[in-house]
């Protein structure tokens, strides 16, 4: 027997359709409709009929084998043979995160295929794997941010059990797993939630679709929907944390913000399970309130993405300065990011045409993720180029060194460790012609701001755009990929073994630089990360005293008394005797 349930306050009548038959449902006072059906069993398909229309998938469907418009499938989630009982996720203070996209991480693009590449990640030395969104979205392939069945793993990636196998396999290798979840909007295709109940609000719109009703009438059940979703991934799928997509797209005027509530509920679960669970928002607000303790009036989230550090590095290393990159481009920005996390912490942003941000005073660097690349910064380019395609090998090594010696939690994007030659495009697979055109036109419009022309923009709907984005693992052994991989491994090893790099306190980070000459030195305890961005050899002043070169991007770098002699576009890590 199974009890079917749906919260539905919009329709006057809700029926269950199960294996082609209709069953009446009963409405409770609180707007939940229920039906007990004796013959229902795992593997059966069902949907809900709303005022005679439908069937529509269950808003909390566990599986959508036929896609977003299809029926929901009953899944028995109780019998998975977990073997990760003794796994404990490493704390963020010692974490290195690896972001990957299930569909492009392997040729097959499935949960099970990803398992085959986990040993590579263990050998690389990362501690956390982060999956881009895996919930059911329209079509067979896509980034996943337009998910609509938030409780169902995407059918093209495999079954719910396949996802559990992948998480379990990560844990077996000592890898923690973070899932990217989107709580600021739902995708435009297959989103039937509004037919059930007031999940959405007209009060405001997010950049990607209708705003979610976190604070209006009946918002209590809407908040439960998202909190229950988070708790499900952590509890039933054993994820160790969630990355919260674009929380600036969440508008909630409640006295208790949904993110504060979510954090409290995740903390309770963490205590209950005896497992360390983290929440990591992406935010465009530069507002430390997300991280502040509850006593400080904050949401107490664990860490947030730090785009300012990315933009500072990216602009200096590539020379790019269009669109939002125009706010960055100086060594001073890198220095400020390393010392203060936010480059814009109350100063005027010319691109935003307003004051932006607030100081992150007193917060550890480990409350911020630092990255040279991520899915957005690569994929939201007309040609999907990675850093390796946008800068010299020397500069790529400087970037990697600054990330992996930073006070932040470093994050790599799949293939970054070997400077993958494959692009990572934005790709979609909308079945509706009008959505397909809209996404094509939207991309072209967005890219125009960066000076890219429509004809240079990869067509997101073209199947080859997706296929070209898949990693080519056979690159790995060839130059320069092997050399780039080796550099990353060395840096990760250094981060693991040098006590000075274990210090996340931003106030202990010293940075000196010369904007004109193009050098920058980061001092972290006894270590100095000496970066020569210039296209010519130069002597870079360093602290006096005996220093040895721990690692260098180039054999020609030498440490002398009071200075380092650095070849063009090179980086070296020195250590005081």
Q: How many CB atoms lie within 10 A of CB 272?
A: 9
Contact 182, 245 (CB under 8 A): yes
- Assess whether 245 carries a catalytic annotation: yes
Site track 356-375 with a second copy (rule: CB under 8 A), x = hit: xxx-----------------
Q: Is 276 exposed, middle or buried (0-12, 13-18, 19+ CB in 10 A)?
A: middle
Q: How far is CA 406 from the centre of its chain?
A: 19
- State the catalytic residue, choosing from 130, 245, 260, 523: 245
Instruction: Quote the least distance from Cβ 306 to a second copy, whole Å.
Output: 14
Residues 138 and 344: their CA atoms lie apart, in Å, by: 37
| Binds a second copy (CB under 8 A): choice among 254, 392, 544, 548 | 254
Angle at 533 between CA 528 and CA 534, to 5 degrees: 125
29 binds a second copy (CB under 8 A): no
353 binds a second copy (CB under 8 A): yes
Instruction: Quote the least distance from Cβ 405 to a second copy, whole Å.
Output: 28
Q: Considering beta carbons, is residue 203 or 536 the nearer one to a second copy?
A: 203
Q: Considering beta carbons, is residue 287 or 459 the nearer one to a second copy?
A: 287
Q: Considering beta carbons, is residue 85 or 353 the nearer one to a second copy?
A: 353
Instruction: Quote the least distance from Cβ 411 to a second copy, whole Å.
Output: 23
Strand ranges for 372-433 from DSSP E = 409-413
- Assess whether 446 carries a catalytic annotation: no
- DSSP annotation of 327 reads G
Q: How many CB atoms lie within 10 A of CB 348?
A: 11
* CA distances, 521 to each of 297, 318, 319, 368, 553 (Å): 36, 19, 19, 21, 15
* CA distances, 469 to each of 67, 194, 415, 515, 529 (Å): 22, 34, 11, 36, 33
Q: Considering beta carbons, is residue 255 or 577 the nearer one to a second copy?
A: 255
Q: Considering beta carbons, is residue 358 or 383 the nearer one to a second copy?
A: 358
296 binds a second copy (CB under 8 A): yes
| Binds a second copy (CB under 8 A): choice among 348, 478, 544, 562 | 348
Residues 41 and 73: their CA atoms lie apart, in Å, by: 10
28 binds a second copy (CB under 8 A): no
Instruction: Quote the least distance from Cβ 484 to a second copy, whole Å.
Output: 37
Contact 335, 301 (CB under 8 A): no
220 binds a second copy (CB under 8 A): yes
| Binds a second copy (CB under 8 A): choice among 7, 225, 239, 292 | 292
Q: Considering beta carbons, is residue 252 or 503 the nearer one to a second copy?
A: 252
Burial letters for 230-267: b for 16+ Cβ neighbours within 10 Å, e otherwise? bbbbbbebbbbbbbbbbbbbbbbeeeebbbbbbbebbe
Instruction: Quote the least distance from Cβ 353 to a second copy, whole Å.
Output: 4
Q: Considering beta carbons, is residue 113 or 363 the nearer one to a second copy?
A: 363
546 binds a second copy (CB under 8 A): no
Q: Which helix (H) or strand (E) holds 84?
A: none
Instruction: Quote the least distance from Cβ 364 to a second copy, whole Å.
Output: 18
433 binds a second copy (CB under 8 A): no
Instruction: Quote the least distance from Cβ 207 to a second copy, whole Å.
Output: 10
User: ω before 480 within 30° of 0 (cis)?
Assistant: yes
For the chain, the C-alpha Rg in angstroms (whole number) is 25
Q: Considering beta carbons, is residue 220 or 433 the nearer one to a second copy?
A: 220
Site for a second copy in 159-218 (CB under 8 A): 203-205, 215-218
Instruction: Quote the least distance from Cβ 164 to a second copy, whole Å.
Output: 33
Q: Considering beta carbons, is residue 211 or 419 the nearer one to a second copy?
A: 211
* CA distances, 287 to each of 180, 184, 255, 291, 458 (Å): 20, 17, 18, 8, 34
Phi and psi, residue 515, nearest 5°: -60, -40
274 binds a second copy (CB under 8 A): no
Q: Which helix (H) or strand (E) holds 176?
A: strand 176-181
Phi and psi, residue 349, nearest 5°: -100, 115
- DSSP annotation of 388 reads H
- State the catalytic residue, choosing from 136, 221, 252, 282: 282
Q: Which helix (H) or strand (E) holds 339?
A: helix 331-340
489 binds a second copy (CB under 8 A): no
Residues 447 and 387: their CA atoms lie apart, in Å, by: 18
Name the segment binding a second copy (CB under 8 A); options: 73-81, 322-330, 349-357, 389-397: 349-357
Site for a second copy in 297-326 (CB under 8 A): 297-298
| Binds a second copy (CB under 8 A): choice among 1, 38, 255, 577 | 255
256 binds a second copy (CB under 8 A): yes
Instruction: Quote the least distance from Cβ 356 to a second copy, whole Å.
Output: 8
| Binds a second copy (CB under 8 A): choice among 354, 455, 479, 577 | 354
Residues 125 and 408: their CA atoms lie apart, in Å, by: 16
Q: Which helix (H) or strand (E) holds 224?
A: helix 219-235
Instruction: Quote the least distance from Cβ 294 to a second copy, whole Å.
Output: 9
3-state DSSP assignment of residue 217? coil
Look at residues 166, 180, 178, 161 and name the one whose alpha carbon lies nearest to residue 89. Answer: 178
Name the segment binding a second copy (CB under 8 A); options: 267-275, 285-293, 303-311, 549-557: 285-293
355 binds a second copy (CB under 8 A): yes
Residues 498 and 525: their CA atoms lie apart, in Å, by: 10
Q: Considering beta carbons, is residue 143 or 183 the nearer one to a second copy?
A: 183
Q: Considering beta carbons, is residue 195 or 289 the nearer one to a second copy?
A: 289
Give the number of residues in contact with a second copy, rule: CB under 8 A. 34
Instruction: Quote the least distance from Cβ 256 to a second copy, whole Å.
Output: 6
287 binds a second copy (CB under 8 A): yes
End-to-end CA distance of the chain, in Å?
71
**Among all residues, which ones are annotated catalytic?**
245, 282
Interaction site with a second copy (CB under 8 A): 203-205, 215-220, 248, 251, 253-256, 285-289, 292, 295-298, 346, 348, 352-358
């Amino acid at each position: 027997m199974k009890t079917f349930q749906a919260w539905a306050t919009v329709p006057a009548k809700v029926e269950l359709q199960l294996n082609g038959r209709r069953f009446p449902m009963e409405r409770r006072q609180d707007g939940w409709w229920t039906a007990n059906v004796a013959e229902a069993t795992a593997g059966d398909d069902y949907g809900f009929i709303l005022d005679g229309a439908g069937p529509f998938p269950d808003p909390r469907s566990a599986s959508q084998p036929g896609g977003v418009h299809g029926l929901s499938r009953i899944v028995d989630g109780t019998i998975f043979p977990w073997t990760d009982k003794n796994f404990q996720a490493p704390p963020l203070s010692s974490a290195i995160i690896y972001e990957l996209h299930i569909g492009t991480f392997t040729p097959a693009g499935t949960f099970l295929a990803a398992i085959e590449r986990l040993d590579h990640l263990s050998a690389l030395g990362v501690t956390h794997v982060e999956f881009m969104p895996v919930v059911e979205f329209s079509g067979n392939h896509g980034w996943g941010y337009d998910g609509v069945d938030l409780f169902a793993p995407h059918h093209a990636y495999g079954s719910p059990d396949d996802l559990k196998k992948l998480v379990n396999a990560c844990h077996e290798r000592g890898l923690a797993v973070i899932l990217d979840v989107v709580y600021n909007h739902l995708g435009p295709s297959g989103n039937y939630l509004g037919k059930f109940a007031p999940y959405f609000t007209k009060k405001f719109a997010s950049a990607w679709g209708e705003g979610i009703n976190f604070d209006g009438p009946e918002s209590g059940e809407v908040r439960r929907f998202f909190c229950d979703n988070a708790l499900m991934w952590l509890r039933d799928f054993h994820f160790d944390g969630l990355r919260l997509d674009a929380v600036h797209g969440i508008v909630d005027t409640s006295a208790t913000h949904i993110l504060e509530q979510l954090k409290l509920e995740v903390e309770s679960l963490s205590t209950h399970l005896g497992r360390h669970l983290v929440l990591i928002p992406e935010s465009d607000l530069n507002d430390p309130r997300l991280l502040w303790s509850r006593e400080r009036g904050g949401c107490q989230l664990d860490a947030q993405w730090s785009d300012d550090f990315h933009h500072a590095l990216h602009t200096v290393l590539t020379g790019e300065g269009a669109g939002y990159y125009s706010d960055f481009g100086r060594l001073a920005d890198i220095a400020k990011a390393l010392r203060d996390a936010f480059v814009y912490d109350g100063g005027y942003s010319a691109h935003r045409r307003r004051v932006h941000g607030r100081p992150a005073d007193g917060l550890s660097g480990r409350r911020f993720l630092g990255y040279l690349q991520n899915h957005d910064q690569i994929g939201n380019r007309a040609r999907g180029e990675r850093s390796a395609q946008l800068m010299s090998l020397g500069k790529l090594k400087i970037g990697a060194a600054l990330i992996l010696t930073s006070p932040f939690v470093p994050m790599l994007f799949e293939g970054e460790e070997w400077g993958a030659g494959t692009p990572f495009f934005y790709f979609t697979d909308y079945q509706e012609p009008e959505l397909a055109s809209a996404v094509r036109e939207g991309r072209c419009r967005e890219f125009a701001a960066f000076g890219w022309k429509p004809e240079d923009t990869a067509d997101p709907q073209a199947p080859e755009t997706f296929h070209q984005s898949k990693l080519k693992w056979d690159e790995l052994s060839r130059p320069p990929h092997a050399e780039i991989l080796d550099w990353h491994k060395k840096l990760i090893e250094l981060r693991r073994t040098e006590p000075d790099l274990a210090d996340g306190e931003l106030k202990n980070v010293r940075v000196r630089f010369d904007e004109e000459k193009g050098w920058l030195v980061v001092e972290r305890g006894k270590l100095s990360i000496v970066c020569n961005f210039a296209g010519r050899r130069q002597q870079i002043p360093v602290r006096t005293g005996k220093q040895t070169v721990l690692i260098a991007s180039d054999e020609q770098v030498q440490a002398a008394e009071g200075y380092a002699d650095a070849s063009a576009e090179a980086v070296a890590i020195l250590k005081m005797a």
